[in-house]
Structure 1
Amino acid sequence: MEWWPAYLLLGAVVGFFAGLLGIGGGLILVPVLTVIFTAQHFPPDRILHLALGTTMAAIIFTSASSLRAHHAHGAVNWQVVKHITPGVIIGTLGGATLVGMLPSRVLSIIFVVFIFYAATQMLLKIAPKPSRKLPDGPSMLGVGCIIGAVSSFVAIGGGLLTVPFLTLCNVRLQQAIGTAAAVGFPIAVAGAIGYVLNGMAQSEPLPEYSLGYVHIPALGWIVLASMLTAPLGARTTHVIPTGALRTIFVLLLYLLGTRMLIGLF
């Protein structure tokens, strides 16, 4: 319990940026939780798994809030959600299962590569040009599997993958963002279930108050703080220019990615 101020602060920062930029916060949560869990002397070869699982569980709450807001504005294409969700669930559960089999070093390399990719994409504002139509049912199933699998590997709600895909398929940006928020909910639920089940299947003991790879105290404090600060971030977008704050967020991602990279060596 003595670590609750760190979890509370982390949740507050993540919630603010989630409201400000519409991101799920997983790219910040995972590396910072890795540092906190290391300081608490959690099992070294399970620290990243616990950080990923706890983050995925936290995204359930942030994605639900975001989904509700976008639905109220009519910005969710529920036909896309219906067709892509089965693939998303299959891919997310499969990815979470595979994560449980991989050593922490391999997972760290995958996460570092992705965090640099995400930061660069945000910095350069890389976006695909609309050039095709939405695929049919079977193809959408395959796309969902890929988005779900990658999302479970790096504990994100899928927005960094779903929005560019929908934009490529001539979906309006506002609707692409709203639909991605809706897709993020089944990703988070399936991912959290996968991490819980895989953690419970481990023979080695996990930290006290952990449900599989989800550390309950960390989850509780992070969710509490993020739900309080997310509305503040959302209001900030309408008060001051977000360009400078976006740059700060990108620099923070680079800093966290570099720290994890140094830790690998």
Structure 2
Amino acid sequence: MDIYLLYLCLGATAGLISGLFGLGGGVVIVPILIFTFTAQGMTQAVLTHLAIGTSLATIVVTSVSSILSHHKHGAVLWTLAGWLTPGICIGAALGAVFAVSISGAALQLAFGIFLCLVALKMAFALSPTGGANMPGRAGQSMVGAVVGFVASLFGIGGGSLTVPYLTWVRVPMKNAVATSAACGLPIAVSGALTYWWQGVGEPDLPDGAIGFIYLPAFFGIIVASTIFARVGARAAHRLPGEILRRSFALLLLIIGVRFIWRNLGV
């Protein structure tokens, strides 16, 4: 199969799942890319970092349409997003630097644990209830730094972290989701640029890579995922949501356990 056709199919799958379950694309894209890069015979020394850097690069593009849609409905709390952004940018850069400093096996182990936590949250619909006051600007920047670090480490847009935090500090769910989408762009930009810069000159990278961003996967995913995310979102209103959510949570748990089991010896 032509490599761009392969990644178009992967992008369609990622977009469909993202639309169905409201998950950020990175939770889907990163494991798919790890499995695909492994099947392509890429070296273990770089394929995990390449998957995460590529995922963040795709989020740079795909997050823009989401932000515009939320902004159109007046749901983004731009002042709050502005408070979070400085910390997010610093944290995302540090997260990428840290990720590149550890082995791919250690990164997969950490990602497997993260997937298991996401799966449990999905399966049992866990969500924090409002119970804290909104911190000041310095506190918001610190929160942003933590979110940016974790999101960049795992190649995600940060929604699985930002939305629970914002609802915990009593931001209405509609605004929390919209503001989280706005925060996903600086996470992706800062993280992707750092993965690109950290990978420049890496001798084990495959043809088609610029730093830790693999262009065939990047282009295939951004073309197909946006289209199929809309398809998935429409289908979500017609399918049995509870069964689908728990089934996908089980799949994420299986993938997470697989990553943990394969890399326990690191």
Structure 2 partner of 1:144: 144
Could you say which residue in structure 2 is the equivalent of 1:131?
Answer: 131
- Aligned-CA RMSD value: 1.5
What is the match of residue 233 of structure 2? 234
- CA contact 1:31–1:260 (8 Å) conserved in 2: no
In 2, Cα distance between equivalents of 1:235 and 1:44: 38
What residue identity is the alignment partner of 2:207? E
TM superposition shift of 1:97: 1.0
Matched AA of 2:242: G
Counterpart code for 2:175: Q
The Cα of 1:259 is off from its aligned counterpart by 2.6
Rounded to whole Å, the distance in 2 between the matches of 1:249 and 1:61 is 25
Query: Mean alpha-carbon deviation: is it higher for 252-261 or for 137-146?
Result: 252-261
Q: Secondary structure at the match of 2:134?
A: coil
Question: Counterparts of 1:16 and 1:105 in 2: how far apart (Å)?
Answer: 28
Does the aligned pair in 2 maintain the 1:166–1:176 contact within 8 Å?
yes
Contact 2:18–2:28 at 8 Å: present in 1 too? no
- Residue 255 of structure 1: aligned partner: 254
Larger CA deviation: 157-166 vs 40-49: 40-49
- Name the structure 1 match of 2:167: 167
Tell me, yes or no, if the aligned pair for 1:97 and 1:198 is still in contact at 8 Å: yes
- CA distance in 2 between partners of 1:128 and 1:102 (Å): 32
Which residue matches 1:212?
A: 211
Normalising by structure 1, what TM-score? 0.95
> What displacement does 1:252 show?
2.1
Q: Is the 8 A contact 1:24 1:63 kept in 2?
A: no
Read off the aligned partner of 2:25 and give its amino acid letter.
Answer: G
Distance 1:32 1:15 in 2: 12
Indicate conservation of the 8 Å contact 2:106/2:263, yes or no.
no
Q: Counterpart amino acid of 2:262?
A: G
Q: How does 1:108-123 map to 2 (within 5 A)?
A: 108-123=108-123
Runs of 4+ residues deviating >6 angstroms: none
1:28–1:256: 8 Å Cα contact kept in structure 2?
no
Q: How far has the Cα of 1:2 moved from its partner?
A: 2.8
1:13 equivalent in structure 2: 13
Amino acid at match of 1:224: V
Note closer, same or farther for the CA distance 1:10–1:255 as it changes in structure 2 (3 Å cut): farther
Q: How far 1:231 moved relative to its partner?
A: 1.1
Shift of 1:100: 1.2
Number of residues of Structure 1 aligned to a counterpart in Structure 2: 264
Deviation at 1:201, TM superposition (A): 4.9
Per-residue CA shift, 1:132-178, capped at 9, x if unaligned? 22110111111000000000111110001100110110000111111
Q: Which residue of 1 aligns with 2:91?
A: 91
1:191 to partner: Cα distance: 0.9
- In structure 2, give the amino acid aligned to 1:186: P
Alpha-carbon distance in 1 for matches of 2:241, 2:45:
38
- Find the counterpart in structure 1 of residue 106 from structure 2: 106
C-alpha separation in 2, matches of 1:183 and 1:210: 26
One-letter code of the match for 2:157? G
Match of residue 221 from structure 1: 220
| 1:96 to 1:201, Cα distance in 2 relative to 1, 3 A | farther
User: Aligned AA for 1:13?
Assistant: T
- Checking the alignment, whether the CA contact within 8 Å between 2:11 and 2:221 is kept in structure 1 is yes
Unaligned runs of 5+ in 1: none
State yes or no: 1:68 paired with 2:73.
no
Could you tell me whether the CA contact under 8 Å between 1:26 and 1:156 is conserved in 2?
A: yes
User: Residue type matched to 2:193 in 1?
Assistant: I
Query: Which runs of structure 2 are paired with 1:23-62 in the superposition (5 Å)?
Result: 23-62=23-62
Contact 2:11–2:222, Cα closer than 8 Å, also in 1 = yes
Larger mean CA deviation between 212-221 and 68-77 belongs to 68-77
Sequence identity (%)? 39
* TM-score calculated relative to the size of structure 2: 0.94
Deviations 1:93-125 (A, max 9, x none): 111111111111211111011010111111111
Structure 2: gaps of 5 or more residues: none
